[in-house]
Amino acid sequence: MTDGQGGTGAFAAKVFGVDIGGSGIKGAPVDLGRGELAEERRKVLTPHPATPDAVLDGVVEVVRHFDWSGLPVGVTFPGVVRNGVTLTAANVDKGWIGTDLASRLGGRLGCPVTVLNDADAAGVAEVAFGAARGVKGTVIVLTLGTGIGSAVFTDGQLVPNTELGHLELDGHEAEKRASTKVKEDEDLSWSHWARRVRKYLQHLEMLFSPELFVLGGGVSRKAHKFLPLIEGVRAEIVPARLQNNAGIVGAAMAAAAAAGDAG
Ligand code: BGC
């Protein structure tokens, strides 16, 4: 049986993924067999202020661009998400706290919607298709961007909503010391910033003793500029592999998993 999206099985071939970020709302149908975008992604600029209503309009625009109807959609959100409800809003409009994103979006799109934390989504994709594939034990995926997102896995199993970017480092929240936004805002050199990232990783290592750190976010493309500067961490440290599309792929995977559970 075909699923109407060019593949076989209920949702085996393509599910839609959307990544809500600080600068853009990006989405595309995802080829779940390969962990890749099945079509070129569509991006609209994130509205400012990024209120729930304005962002929902953006997500709907991205999904409608593809004529997507009825089939599951997965969406990332840069905050804690439980049962489709967004519970924190560190770097987005505070109106998000307590918003039932899954129901509101599902109502507008007329399809099942699954929502998860943005770093969790990126991590899920890296574990399935990228830098953490097949790694046993504890893996910590960090997204370094406007904030710092975290996804913690043991033997490939996600512990959701870990929020390790808000751990205290030198009397500040870690993401206020070591995010890439801070690097830009404070005009830090690569070596200065790498020292902060090292300190943060050492702190996480003291708490979790992971086998592997995967560093994601846009800066992972420039890993050669700072990874060699990070010494004194026992765990292996590697750049993320799916880079910009990890969130979209992970969102689609979560939606497919939810559809499988429901069916
Ligand atoms: C949020 C996290 C998010 C991270 C990256 C943090 O400020 O609290 O939920 O994953 O930023 O967007």
pLDDT in tens, 208-244: 999 999 999 989 999 999 999 999 999 999 999 997 8
Asked whether residue 113 falls in the same domain as residue 125, the answer is: no
Bigger pLDDT: 254 vs 23: 254
Nearest CA to ligand 1 atom 4: 149
Residue 119 beta carbon below 6 angstroms from any ligand 1 atom: yes
On whether residue 53 sits in a domain, the answer given is yes
Asked whether residue 177 falls in the same domain as residue 207, the answer is: yes
- Percentage helix, strand, coil for the chain under 3-state DSSP, each rounded to 5: 40, 25, 35
On whether residue 159 sits in a domain, the answer given is yes
Written as one letter, the residue type at 184 is E
Asked whether residue 36 falls in the same domain as residue 77, the answer is: yes
Nearest CA to ligand 1 atom 11: 147
Q: Name all contacts of 149-156 with Cβ < 8 Å and 24+ positions apart.
A: 149/78, 149/117, 149/118, 149/119, 149/120, 149/122, 150/119, 150/123, 151/117, 151/119, 151/120, 151/122, 151/123, 151/124, 152/123, 152/208, 153/123, 153/127, 156/127
Residue 149 beta carbon below 6 angstroms from any ligand 1 atom: yes
Give the per-residue pLDDT at 240: 96
Question: What confidence tier does 263 reach under pLDDT thresholds 50, 70, 90?
Answer: low
On whether residue 96 sits in a domain, the answer given is yes
Asked whether residue 190 falls in the same domain as residue 110, the answer is: no
Q: What is the pLDDT of residues 65-99, one digit of tens each?
A: 998 878 899 999 999 999 999 999 998 999 999 99
On whether residue 158 sits in a domain, the answer given is yes
Asked whether residue 196 falls in the same domain as residue 250, the answer is: no
Ligand 1 atom nearest 21 alpha carbon:
12
Asked whether residue 126 falls in the same domain as residue 236, the answer is: yes
Ligand 1 atom nearest 118 alpha carbon:
10
Question: What confidence tier does 4 reach under pLDDT thresholds 50, 70, 90?
Answer: very low
On whether residue 6 sits in a domain, the answer given is no
Domain count, the chain: 2
Residue 120 beta carbon below 6 angstroms from any ligand 1 atom: no
Asked whether residue 105 falls in the same domain as residue 153, the answer is: no
On whether residue 184 sits in a domain, the answer given is yes
**What pTM value is reported for the model?**
0.94
Asked whether residue 129 falls in the same domain as residue 232, the answer is: yes
Residue 90 beta carbon below 6 angstroms from any ligand 1 atom: yes
Asked whether residue 106 falls in the same domain as residue 130, the answer is: no
Domain housing 113 = 15-118+245-258
Ligand 1 atom nearest 119 alpha carbon:
10
Asked whether residue 78 falls in the same domain as residue 176, the answer is: no
On whether residue 7 sits in a domain, the answer given is no
Asked whether residue 190 falls in the same domain as residue 226, the answer is: yes
Q: What is the pLDDT of residues 164-176, one digit of tens each?
A: 999 999 899 999 9
Asked whether residue 21 falls in the same domain as residue 105, the answer is: yes
Supply the CATH number for residue 180's domain: 3.30.420.40
